[in-house]
C-alpha cells in the first residue's frame, strides 16, 4: 500500500467489534493465569506484553505503522529522538569502539556523540558530508562499528549522499545508520538506498503538532550479522546473551535481531520507553503525515523563492530550490523536495537576524522545528550554542543564519509576515 493508506491503517487491525482506533492501553502490567505462562513469555519476549518499560500495545501499534512506512522489519519507539540515536549506536558500540559520522548532523547528536559517548569510551570520528570514497575509507579503524548520517541535516540542510555512505560502511563490514527526521519516510525511504537502520525524532514532522516528544529506531532487517566478518565484529548478535538466559538473537529473531536486541538489552536496562498516551498522540500525527508533507514542501518552496529574490537576504539554503547546492542530491533522494525547513542568512549578520525574528508576528520564535505552525529559530544563539566556532562551521552553520520552519498556514499569510518583518530590518 501507499504512504497515505499506511499512515491511516498500518499497525492496528481492529478485530470484530473492537475499537476502530487503537485505544490507549494505560496499564504498566499484563495479567496471566500462571507463573509458567509468564516464564514462557520471558523466554519469548516478542509474543506478549509483560511490562510497559519496554513494550505496550498502543506503542507497539505505532511502531508497526512506522516500520511499515519505512519498509523495515521492526521498530522501537523511544521517549525522545536523542534516546533513539543513543540506543541505535549503543546497540552496536561498546567502550573501546568507534563510529564514523557525517559532520552535517543535528547539534544535539554532535554533542551526544562527541562529548557524552566519549565519556563512555566510544570515539566518534567526524567526516565531511562531501568526503570522497578514499577519505571515507581512511576514516575506518579496526574498532569502527557503524557509520551515521542525517538525510537532511538540521539546520544546515545538507542532504546526505546515502548510497555513498552506505557503500562505504558496507565495504568495511558495518551498518549505515541514518537519522531521517526532516525527510520522513514520505520524502525518503533510506532503506531503498542501502541504509540499514533509520532513526527519527518523532517530535518533529511525525508528531507534527508540537504536543509530545519522542523518537523511533527502525530496522531494515538487511544487515547480515551472521557472516564470518560480522560475527567477529558483532559477537553479541550471534553468541548467547548471558543477560537474557542465553538467547542468540540471530537464531531466535532472524532478520529482526538488531531491533529485538535493542529492546531486550537497552530498553530493558535504560527504560526510555514512551507512554501509551504519547504513542496515541503520535499516532494521530502520523495519520496525516503523508498529506501534510507535500504542503510543507510547497509552502517552503514558495518562501525560499521569495527570500532568494530579496535584496536583504545574503543567501538561502533549501534543497528543494533549483540551483541550491543540495538540489541534485534532493532530486536523487527526496523526489526533488526539501521538507518545510529553510535556512537563510540576512545581510548584516547576527544583529539583523535577531531584528528580523523579533519583528515576525505569525511565525513564532520557539525552540522547535517541523511544527504544523510556522516557527523560526537562531541556531547560533539557541540550539547550537554549545558548539565551538569550528563545530558550527563544520555543521554548516553561519552565525547570521536563521532557520525558518514553514507551517501549514496559508502561504499568502506566511509571505506577508516575512515581508513585513524584512521591511523592519534597518
Sheet of strand 215-219: strand arrangement: 74-78, 215-219, 197-201, 176-179, 144-150, 98-102, 123-127
Asked if 204 interacts with ligand PLP (CB under 6 A), we say: yes
Measure the CA–CA gap between 209 and 422, rounded to whole angstroms. 27
Task: Judge contact between 344 and 312, C-beta under 8 A.
Answer: no
How far apart are CB 244 and ligand PLP at their closest, in Å?
27
Residue count, binding to ligand PLP (CB under 6 A):
15
Q: Does 154 bind ligand PLP (CB under 6 A)?
A: yes
* 321 contacts 304 by C-beta, under 8 angstroms: yes
Binding test (CB under 6 A) with ligand PLP, winner from 74, 149, 194, 213: 213
The residue among 371 and 417 lying less far from ligand PLP, judged by its C-beta, is: 371
Q: Is the peptide bond before 72 cis (omega within 30 degrees of 0)?
A: no
Query: Across-strand partners of 219?
Result: 74, 197
**Per CB under 6 A, does 405 bind ligand PLP?**
no
Of 94-102, 104-112, 137-145, 390-398, the segment contacting ligand PLP by CB under 6 A is 104-112
Q: Can you tell me the distance from the alpha carbon of 357 to that of 346, in angstroms, rounded to the nearest whole number?
A: 11
Q: Where are the beta strands (DSSP E) in 253-382?
A: 313-317, 341-346, 364-365, 375-377
Stretch that binds ligand PLP, among 160-168, 196-204, 236-244, 374-382 (CB under 6 A): 196-204
Binding ligand PLP (rule: CB under 6 A), the pick from 181, 184, 212, 374 is 181
299 contacts: CB under 8 Å, gap ≥ 6 = 340, 406, 407, 408, 409, 411, 414
At closest approach, how far in Å is the CB of 377 from ligand PLP? Answer: 11
Residues 255-294, interacting with ligand PLP (CB under 6 A): none
Least distance (Å) from ligand PLP to the CB of residue 382? 13
Q: State the nearest-atom distance from the C-beta of 141 to ligand PLP, in Å.
A: 25
x/- mask, ligand PLP, residues 364-403, rule CB under 6 A, reads ----------------------------------------
Comparing CB distances to ligand PLP, the nearer of 168 and 377 is: 377
Q: Cell triple for residue 247?
A: 538467547
Structure-block grid coordinates of residue 345: 542568512
Verify binding: residue 111, ligand PLP, rule CB under 6 A: no
Q: Which of 105, 101, 182, 100 is nearest to 395 (CA)?
A: 105
Span near ligand PLP by CB under 6 A; candidates 30-38, 77-85, 316-324, 398-406? 77-85
For ligand PLP, the closer of residues 72 and 149 by Cβ is 149
Residue written as grid cell 525558518? 404
**Site of interaction with ligand PLP (CB under 6 A):** 80-82, 106, 108-109, 150, 154, 179, 181, 201, 203-204, 213, 215
Amino acid at each position: 500500500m501507499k504512504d497515505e493508506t499506511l499512515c491511516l491503517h498500518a499497525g492496528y487491525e481492529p478485530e470484530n467489534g473492537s475499537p476502530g482506533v487503537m485505544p490507549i492501553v494505560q496499564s504498566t502490567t499484563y495479567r496471566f493465569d500462571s507463573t509458567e505462562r509468564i516464564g514462557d513469555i520471558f523466554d519469548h519476549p516478542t509474543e506478549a506484553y509483560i511490562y510497559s518499560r519496554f513494550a505496550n500495545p498502543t506503542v507497539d501499534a505505532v511502531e508497526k505503522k512506522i516500520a511499515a512506512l519505512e519498509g523495515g522489519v521492526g521498530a522501537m519507539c523511544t521517549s525522545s529522538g536523542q534516546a533513539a540515536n543513543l540506543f541505535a549506536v549503543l546497540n552496536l558500540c561498546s567502550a573501546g569502539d568507534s563510529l564514523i559520522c557525517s559532520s552535517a548532523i543535528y547539534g544535539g547528536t554532535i554533542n551526544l556523540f562527541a562529548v557524552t559517548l566519549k565519556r563512555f569510551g566510544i570515539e566518534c570520528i567526524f567526516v565531511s558530508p562531501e568526503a570522497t570514497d578514499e577519505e571515507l575509507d581512511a576514516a575506518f579503524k579496526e574498532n569502527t562499528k557503524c557509520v551515521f548520517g542525517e538525510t537532511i541535516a538540521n539546520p544546515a540542510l545538507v542532504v546526505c549522499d546515502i548510497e555513498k555512505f552506505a557503500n562505504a560502511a558496507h565495504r568495511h563490514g558495518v551498518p549505515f545508520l541514518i537519522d531521517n527526521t526532516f525527510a520522513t519516510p514520505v520524502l525518503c525511504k533510506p532503506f531503498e538506498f542501502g541504509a540499514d537502520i533509520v532513526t527519527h525524532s518523532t517530535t518533529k514532522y511525525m508528531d507534527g503538532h508540537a504536543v509530545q516528544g519522542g523518537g523511533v529506531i527502525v530496522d531494515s532487517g538487511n544487515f547480515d550479522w551472521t557472516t564470518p566478518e560480522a560475527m567477529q565484529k558483532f559477537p553479541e548478535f550471534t553468541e548467547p546473551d548471558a543477560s537474557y538466559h542465553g538467547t542468540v538473537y540471530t537464531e531466535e529473531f532472524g532478520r529482526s535481531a538488531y531491533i529485538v536486541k535493542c529492546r531486550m538489552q537497552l530498553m530493558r536496562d535504560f527504560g526510555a520507553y514512551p507512554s501509551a498516551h504519547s504513542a496515541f498522540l503520535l499516532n494521530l500525527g502520523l495519520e496525516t503525515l503523508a498529506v501534510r508533507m507535500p504542503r510543507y514542501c510547497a509552502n517552503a518552496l514558495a518562501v525560499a523563492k521569495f527570500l532568494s529574490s530579496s535584496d536583504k537576504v545574503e543567501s538561502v539554503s533549501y534543497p528543494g530550490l533549483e540551483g541550491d547546492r543540495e538540489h541534485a542530491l534532493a532530486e536523487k533522494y527526496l523526489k526533488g523536495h526539501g521538507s518545510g525547513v529553510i535556512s537563510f542568512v540576512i545581510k548584516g549578520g547576527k544583529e539583523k537576524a535577531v531584528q528580523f525574528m523579533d519583528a515576525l508576528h505569525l511565525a513564532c520564535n520557539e525552540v522547535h522545528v517541523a511544527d504544523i505552525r510556522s516557527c523560526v529559530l537562531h541556531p547560533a544563539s539557541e540550539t547550537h550554542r554549545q558548539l565551538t566556532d569550528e563545530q558550527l562551521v563544520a555543521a554548516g552553520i553561519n552565525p547570521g543564519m536563521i532557520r525558518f520552519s514553514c507551517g501549514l498556514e496559508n502561504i499568502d499569510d506566511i509571505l506577508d509576515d516575512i515581508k513585513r518583518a524584512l521591511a523592519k530590518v534597518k
